[in-house]
Structure 1
Amino acid sequence: MNITFKQMSVFVSIAHNGSMTLAAEALFMTKSAMSQALAELENQLGVRLFDRQHARLYINHEGRKLLPVADELLARMQGVGVLFSEDAQNNQLRLGCTKTIGSYFLPDMLKGFAKDNGWMPQSIIANTQEISKMVEHFEIDVAFLEGPATELNLICEPWLDDEMVVISGRDHPLSKENTVLAAVATRA
């Protein structure tokens, strides 16, 4: 069986428009081309999809069985076109970030991005090493990292300066210090 997109389009158009003339106008086809496509479809299926009375077509039981499937197939075929449309091609940004950025900064960034652009990029959250490798292997387009990227092929630009804050109880020895070195903070 070799059912074509054209045959399905003709069938659905006739079913929805209720007449060969209106269906032909909707598809910008001649009535004879419509009739031929419908006849080919019915021959391939081995059933009549419409009852014919006084040059009018009425969808029958077999046609009603096919209609939801045909509607879905046509919608899916149109979806394929959308996947590869110019707009879809422009909306293929894939970004990665490390866990802290993904938890604290990314949600607000994506919300603003979606508001400005009307779409969301695909985002992946993982550790610095994993995200760096993904950029290097072209699995993602851009990354926001907390740590240094060691891959030589990557171009890295500083984004934000981050300040670590040590929080301690009032009676802890660190609370008496004005400046705490990282080595001291990791031992405490």
Structure 2
Amino acid sequence: MEFDQLRYFLALSTRENFTRTAAELGISQPALSRSIQKLEEELGQPLFDRRARAVTLTDAGQLLQSRARQVLTLVDETKAEISDDGRSGRIRIGAIPTIAPYFLPELLGRFAEEFPGASVIVREQTTDLLLKAITQGEVDLAVVALPFPAKYIEIEELFAEELFLVLPPGHDLIQKTSIRLTDIEPLPFVLLDEAHCLSDNIVSFCRNRNFHPVSVERTSQLAMVQELVALSHGISMIPAMARDVDGSGRRVYRSLSGKKPTRTIAAVWNPYRFQSRLLEAFKDRLRVYAAEKATRHGDG
């Protein structure tokens, strides 16, 4: 049993398709099929139930999936610890979709300039999937929004940012000198689907003030929320970091009067996993960058 076989097996167990997996691994489909077949022959058990367009794990495959992750994580961490010079190596960073495109690019650019020998792999997923990846050692650090239920994970708050009301051009509320929650109570909202914690932040803020927003549309992309607002499908609330990069002029952002809706951005990692010097260096740069964001948005 070879490490590459286990890596191929894990990739296929996630993607559940030989063609897509082979393409992403950069190998031919026959080569991937031979690797899986040899692994099954060695173990004396089928690892996948093969169907027309997809494969699913057998009971034996599910057991191997768990063990393979443990083995490869141990190997990767051992290599990293032995060769840990604090300047080179690989770190795996995760972020939720409402943070990744707005927060990470500048931070990653700065880090790449300072650490040209480092390789940073970025994973953009919802909070629950990132927390699972952190626990399993598939991601070294993730940038997420609080709150969330989690055990055995280190959480470091970075900064809080305001959620701005976003309106289509020409909306009646734009003319008001101050906009209260009661002004938007009867209006339809465009929200992200329930997999995204930003919607929880918005709904929780409103519920705490005895107001439940009426959602007329839900989508999986924050950019689509902004686009639907521009097309007058409804209104919404958008994080400051997303507002800051919207130079389209097709939407109007306003701050609510009174207590502002906010969300808290945090870094999370698994303290029981090996923390390389390179990862610690990334944490330090992340803290500095987050402090800049906090100052920019009037927090702290």
Scaled by the length of structure 1, the TM-score of the pair is 0.47
Which structure has the higher relative contact order (CA within 8 Å, separation 6+)? 2
Scaled by the length of structure 2, the TM-score of the pair is 0.31
Whichever structure has more helix as a proportion of its residues is 1
